Amino acid sequence: MAIPEETKFLFEIEFGLGAWAWGDRVFWSYGKTHTDIDIKEAFDTSIDAGITFLDTAEVYGQGRSETLIGEFLKSTKKPVMVATKFMPFPWRVRKSSLVNALKHSLSRLGLSSVDLYQIHWPFPPLPVEHWVEALAEAKQNGLARTVGVSNYNKNQMQRAYTVLAKYNIPLASNQVEYSLLDRRIEKNGVLQRANELGIRIISYSPLAKGILTGKYSSENPPPGVRGRQYSGILKEVQPLLRLMTEIGQDLGGKTSAQIALNWLICKGTLPIPGAKNAKQAEMNAGSLGWRLTDEQVKLLDVASDKLNK
């Protein structure tokens, strides 16, 4: 399927930067593991490395992530594309809440429009169609260059596509969890249908929230909620991590994080890893400019298949 002219730019972006941890205290321990100074350095390092696509959301740090990005954008002359998201909380019922929420996001970001506005989750009670109609309005008002969805299954994605098509607006993207530890979109039809419809898949939690960097183990689990989320898999993931280390060595010293991110690029998707500081940002940016061989991708597929039953 040909990609619509309007959304082509998203397919030209190989890699982005996720900003959930920028301001989030509950899950990501903002203020303890990373400060505003660390985050600014992560931003500067990424921009200097040629990363031009940032993903945030109105709910990240209750707006703090957008506010920080707004401040950082003032400090650079380089063009940076910003994607943010609308959360369809159950108490939001009017379609106008979406455009109102977008206006608040734009004010925090200091922008007159975003490059991509996404519906964060297909939460009930309102049907997909309700919020996608509102998304079309945001696009028609010129507040969003393109529009997308997130966490939509194949059927919901198709319905969003169909609603937007009535307005002659392409569905630009579906942002979903995708990594060597979560390959559901390969099996549930989302990846294939997105490719058929010319919808860009944006891969979130591409490092499985840090597990695929290889720095955590059952003896040294990640803190808090993450530790509980991944406690079952930390032992089982070790053979995959060993393979990633071997492949990294064969490639002249690539890290496990870089292997995990490059694998997603090889799968034709746009990974948006989070980075809390300059060191992480620099390492993640090192996933660009080279490719795993087909053989290496296959080896990683086989090793991760065992963890994706």
Point out which residues bind ligand NAP (CB under 6 A).
Answer: 18-21, 28, 33, 55, 120, 150-151, 175, 204-210, 213, 215, 222, 257, 272-276, 280, 283-284
HSE-CB at 272 with a 13 A cutoff on CA atoms is 26
Q: Tokens for 177?
A: 């969890």
d(CA 286, CA 264): 14
Q: Which is nearer to ligand NAP, 275 or 303 (CB)?
A: 275
Q: Tokens for 231?
A: 């406690």
Q: Which is nearer to ligand NAP, 158 or 203 (CB)?
A: 203
Q: Which is nearer to ligand NAP, 215 or 242 (CB)?
A: 215
Shortest distance (Å) from residue 2 CB to ligand NAP: 27
Output the residue with the shortest Cβ distance to ligand NAP.
Answer: 18
Q: Tokens for 62?
A: 């209750």
Cβ neighbours around 234 below 10 Å, total: 18
Q: Given the residues 30, 60, 204, 230, select the one marked as catalytic.
A: 60
State the DSSP string of the chain.
-PPPGGGHHHHH----EE-TTSS--TTT-BTTTB-HHHHHHHHHHHHHTT--EEE--TTGGGGHHHHHHHHHHHT--S--EEEEEE---TT--STHHHHHHHHHHHHHHT-S-EEEEEE----SSS-HHHHHHHHHHHHHTTSEEEEEEES--HHHHHHHHHHHHHTT--EEEEEEE-BTTB-HHHHSSHHHHHHHHTPEEEEESTTGGGGGGT---SSSPPSHHHHHHHTTTTTTTHHHHHHHHHHHHHTTS--HHHHHHHHHHHTT-EE--B-SSHHHHHHHHTTSS----HHHHHHHHHHHHTT--
Is residue 204 part of the annotated active site? The answer reads: no
Q: Which is nearer to ligand NAP, 193 or 276 (CB)?
A: 276
Q: Which is nearer to ligand NAP, 190 or 283 (CB)?
A: 283
Supply φ then ψ for residue 125, to 5 degrees.
-90, -15
Shortest distance (Å) from residue 191 CB to ligand NAP: 16
Q: Which is nearer to ligand NAP, 84 or 142 (CB)?
A: 84
Catalytically active residues, by annotation: 60
